[in-house]
Amino acid sequence: MKYQRLALILDDEAGRIGELALQLVRLGVNVLYANDFDEAVLLARQAAGNVGAVIVPSDRATEWLPMILKRMRVPPTALVPAGERPDDDALESLRSQDVRWALWLPDDHRAVRFVVTSAMSETDATEIRFYLRLPTELEGSVQHGPLERPCEIRNLSPGGALVAMEPLFPVGSRIALRVGVGGESLSLCARIAWSTECTGVHPVEASPVMGVSFDDLDAEARGALSRFLEAEIRRFCL
């Protein structure tokens, strides 16, 4: 079944976040766009409950939030302010109304996709992923038997990672992923679940990548990974 969740961009008359709509389309996100409130409401109703994120200019978020909640019937966690970081009073007002995610532009494409898909997954009762996948640029290495190759970890969660390296090891291989997080060096046992050698082009990554699934992590590794991820995810939140 095709994933139907949509991101609705409600822009202002000047179209200040219009480029974000094009960026999300290039990243494989289903996008609706309007720079008129009534038009946005109509699009949301036509989407029949499939709008998972409503992205608005950051300096209009506090003003528009009550109308968005009332007329679009989405939860406050769906709202994503995008643009320059507003003042502390505006931030506190949004936090008090359960708005969680934000995009302080400009940001890189991985961060943009992470924030928008995270907001959409939180409003989707059918979402089956257990963990958010944090975009990263961590250097590490992959050991497979006697071979060890350098790699870059492009996203990370308690359940696995997206790893870029050349050449890739075969799907199904058991590996050790070595990476430093939060000042600690970890060696994480994992299995290669898929790679672009099998699936073809990745929607975000241009270089060859593989998805790895962690085996049961011991308490020390799990704790270190969780602390790092929680600290890093905060920079995408209000």
Average pLDDT over residues 197-207: 71
Same structural domain, 232 and 139: yes
Output 124 or 160, whichever has higher pLDDT.
160
Both 107 and 198 in one domain: the answer is no
**pTM metric for this prediction:** 0.83
- Cα–Cα distances (Å) from 116 to 41, 119, 178, 197, in that order, read 19, 5, 29, 27
Q: What angle (nearest 5°) sits at the alpha carbon of residue 205, between those of residues 204 and 209? A: 130
Residue 204: what pLDDT? 65
With beta carbons less than 8 A apart as the criterion, state whether 196 and 208 touch.
Answer: yes
Residue range 124-129: mean pLDDT, rounded: 50
Is residue 83 included in any domain, yes or no? yes
Distance of alpha carbon 40 from alpha carbon 110, whole angstroms: 26
Alpha helices in the chain (DSSP H): 18-26, 37-46, 61-72, 88-96, 109-122, 196-199, 219-233
Q: How confident is the model at residue 158 (pLDDT cuts 50, 70, 90)?
A: very high
- What is the rounded radius of gyration, in angstroms, for the C-alpha atoms of the chain? 19
Same domain membership, residue 72 and residue 46:
yes
Identify whether residues 88 and 193 lie together within a single domain. no
* Three-state SS at 204: coil
| CATH code for position 46 | 3.40.50.2300
pLDDT: is 123 or 38 the higher one? 38
Distance CA 133, CA 155 (A): 6
Q: CATH number, domain at 160? A: 2.40.10.220
Share of the chain above pLDDT 90, in %: 76
Segment among 57-66, 107-116, 123-132 with least mean pLDDT:
123-132
Instruction: Note the pLDDT of residue 123.
Output: 64
Residue 78 to residues 3, 9, 188, 201: CA-CA distances in angstroms? 17, 11, 34, 29
- Residue 13 in domain: yes
> Has residue 159 got a pLDDT over 70?
yes
In this structure, the answer to whether residues 74 and 152 fall within a common structural domain is no
Instruction: Judge whether 43 lies within some domain.
Output: yes
66 preceded by cis ω (within 30°)? no
Are 111 and 150 found together in one domain?
Answer: no
pLDDT score recorded for residue 107: 76
C-alpha to C-alpha distance for 67 and 135, rounded to whole angstroms: 32
CA distance 65 to 78: 10
Do residues 196 and 202 lie in contact, with contact meaning Cβ atoms separated by under 8 Å?
A: yes
Q: Which of 96, 122, 148 is the last residue of a domain?
A: 122
Q: Which residues pair with 198 in a beta bridge?
A: none
What residue numbers bound the domain in which 192 lies?
134-236
Confidence of residue 1 (pLDDT cuts 50, 70, 90): very low
Identify the band that residue 124 occupies on the pLDDT scale cut at 50, 70 and 90: low
- Which residues make beta-bridge pairs with 33? 9
* Range in 132-136, 143-147, 171-175 with the lowest mean pLDDT: 132-136
- The mean predicted confidence, pLDDT, of the chain is 90
Last residue of a domain, one of 122, 146, 171: 122
Q: What is the pLDDT, as a whole number, of residue 182? A: 85
